[in-house]
Amino acid sequence: MNTERYLNRSEFLLTFEQELHLTDLDRGEDDCRKGHPHKEGQSHAYDIGYGSRYVFEQMKSAGEFN
């Protein structure tokens, strides 16, 4: 199977803004996972990533997950 024809199709390419948000989302999640304090003034995607990881960690410590 030739994947090149799929990788070059425009509907599979991310815009710069989409890549930025994915990066910010991952960065927020990573900061929380590593125990770093939340950074003020970041993007909405960063806040979502940080917040979702924070909720996960709280549920995990409460025994919601094994």
Dihedral (C-alpha) 58, 62, 64, 66: value to the nearest 10 degrees?
A: 100
In a domain, 66, yes or no: no
Q: What is the pLDDT of residues 32-59, one digit of tens each?
A: 999 999 999 999 999 999 999 999 999 9
Q: For residues 66 and 51, give the distance between their C-alpha atoms in angstroms, rounded to a whole number.
A: 21
- For residue 8, tell me if it sits in a domain: no
Is 3 part of a structural domain of the chain?
no
Confidence of residue 11 (pLDDT cuts 50, 70, 90): low
Asked if 48 and 28 count as a contact pair (C-beta separation under 8 A), the reply is: yes
Q: Could you list the residue range(s) of the whole structural domain that residue 37 is in?
A: 15-61
- What is the number of domains present in the chain? 1
Do 45 and 28 contact (CB within 8 A), yes or no?
A: yes
The answer to whether position 33 is within a domain reads yes
Residue whose C-alpha is closest to residue 53's, from 26, 33, 25, 39: 33
The mean pLDDT value of the chain amounts to 80
